Structure 1
Amino acid sequence: MDQMNTQKPHELLADTLASEMEAVNALIQTRMASKHAPRIPEVTAHLVEAGGKRLRPLLTLAAAKMCGYEGDDHVKLAATVEFIHTATLLHDDVVDESGQRRGRPTANLLWDNKSSVLVGDYLFARSFQLMVETGSLRVLDILANAAATIAEGEVLQMTAASDLKTTEDIYLQVVRGKTAALFSAATEVGGVIAAREAAEVQALYDYGDALGIAFQIADDLLDYQGDTKATGKNVGDDFRERKLTLPVIKAVAQATDEERAFWVRTIEKGRQEDGDLEHALELMAKYGTLEATRQDALGWAAKAREALEILPEHPIRQMLSDLAAYVVARLN
C-alpha cells in the first residue's frame, strides 16, 4: 500500500511542512529561554517536549503556505499559537487539578501550581511579543481576541459544567473558547499575512472554527463510546467529573421529571452511585443522543470542508479537507 494512503492527514501535513516546523520549534526553544528564571525553560520544556500533534501551529503554516505566502512571519505566528496553547494547558491543569497530560505527569504535579500559573503567564507575554514582531495590527487583533475568548470560555465552563440549565448554545460557546477559538485564529492569521482577500480570510476562519467544534464534539462523544486503549480515557470520565457535554445536554432537554432528578443528583450534586453511568448511557440510548451528537460532529466537519472550497487549489487544501474528515472518522 502506498505511504500516502497509510499516513494520517496531520502526519502528511507535518511532513509537507517539516522544514517550517523545525524553524517553529527552534524559535520556541529560543523564546522560552530565561536568563533570570531557569524554572521557566524547565517547565516549558517538559510540556513542549511531551509532543502532541502540534496541530495548531501546523494549521497556521498550512494556511499561509496554501495562500502563497513567501515571508517568514508565519513561523513567528505558528510559535505564537503554540505558546498560547501551552500557556492555556498549564493553567487548565491547575484549574482541573489534573495529574496527567499526554500520559506524563503534569507540570503542576512535578513542580507546583504557582510555577504552572506563572510560567503560563510568561508564555502569554512571550506570545504577545512575537505577534507584535509581525508588525500587523490585524494579526494582533485576531490573536488577542482569541486569547480573550479562550479565557472567557474557561470561566464560562466553570459555571456551566455542572449546571443543568446549560443549553446547546452555551455548550457551543464553551467549545469555541476551549478549542475552536485558537483553531480559527491559527488559520485566519495565515490568510491575513498572505494578504488574501476578505472572503478567503473569512473562509479560513470558518474552516478553523468548524474544525475545532467538530474536534471537540467528537472528543466529548468518544468519552461515552470510545475505546479506552485508543482514546487514553476511561469511558464515562466526563460523567464522573460531572461535566455536562453534548450527549448529556441533549438527554436533559428531553428528560421526564424522574430522569431529571437523576441528572440533578449525579451531575449537579455529584452524588454518584454504582450503576449510575450505566443508567446515564441507557437514558442517552433512549433519546438517541449519542447518535444525534455524532450527526452534529459530522455536520461541523462537513462545514469545515465546505469552507475550503473558495480557497486556492493546492495540495495542502486537500490535506486540510482530509483532516476535517479524519477528526470525525473515529466516530463511524
Structure 2
Amino acid sequence: MTITQLQYVLAVAEHKNFTLAAEKCFVTQPTLSMQIQKLEEELDVQIFDRSKKPIQLTDVGEQIVNQAKNIVSESGRIKDIVDQQKGYIGGDFKVGIIPTIMPTLLPMFMHNFIKKYPKVNLIIEERTTEEIIKMIKNGQLDAAIAATPLDEETIKEVVLYYEPFVAYVPESMPPFDKKELDVNDLSSNLNHLLLLQDGHCFRNNILNLCKAKSLDVDSHFQIESGSFETLVKLADEGLGMTLLPYLHTLDMNEKAMAKLRHFKSPRPSREVSLIYSKKELKLHIIEALRNTIAGVVKGAITFQDVEITSPLQAK
C-alpha cells in the first residue's frame, strides 16, 4: 500500500470517474486504474462498484476512503515539518473565498502576497460557505476566507476583521432622512428590503439581524439577486433599500455615497475569518496569508464597537 495509491483512490472517490481522476492526478488512466486494482487485490476487497454510472464506493470503500483522507493528510505534515525547518514558503496553496468577500478583499492583498511570497502558487476559488466547509474537510482546500462563526468542530477560525453593514437607501424611502439607522429601521421596512439570493451567507446575516427567517413579500414583486451591483441599481430605481458590506462601499462615487446610511453603535457587522482544518497542514503559508491580509485591512477596517450577526441560517 502506498500514499500514491491512496491519493488515486481519493481522486476517483471525488470525481466518480477514472479518466477525470487520472487527469487531475497527472497520470494516464491505465496507470491510475492499475494502481487502484493492485490496492484492491492487496486488501482483497472492491473499493469501487464499477457497474454503476457514475462509479460508486462500496460499503467497505466508504470506510477505506475516510481512513485514506487521514493518512494522506498526515503524510503531508512531513513535508510541512521540512519546509518550516528550512524556512521555505512555497508550493501550491488552494484558497476558497465566498462571493461577497472575493471582489473587495482579493484585490487588496493579492499583489502584496505574490510580491512577498513569489514561490507560493496561490490558487483562488470562489465558493459558497457550504462548499468551502465540505472542501476543507475533504482536503480539497488548504484554507478559506468566509464569514464566521461557523460552529464546525474540525475547522479552526482566525478572525481577520469585523465588517459593518451599511444601508443603501433611495431618496423615496423614509430611512433616507435619517443620519444613522438602527435595526428597527430594517424591521419596519422588510417588505422593501432587497437581498442576495438564497445560498449567500450575507443574506443569512441580514435575516438574522432582522430576526426574520424569511421576508414577508408584498403582492407586487419579489427580487433576489446574486450581486450587490444589481441590488444597488434596483435601489436607485426606487424599488427598495439594500444592505452592503462596508468594504463594498469604499469605491462608490459621490452620488451613490450620499445614499449610504451607517448604523448606530454597536454597529451590526459580520466577522470575516481565515479558516482551515484543525490538522493545520501548511500552517506556515496560512500564517503568511493571515499576516498579509491583516496588514492591508487594518487601515480600511478600524471599527471596534460592533455586534456580530451569525452567517448560519436561522432554524
Query: Aligning the two structures, in what range does the TM-score lie when normalised by the shorter sequence?
Result: under 0.3
TM-score w.r.t. structure 1 length?
A: 0.25
Bigger RCO (CA 8 Å, 6+ sep):
2
Higher strand fraction (1 or 2): 2
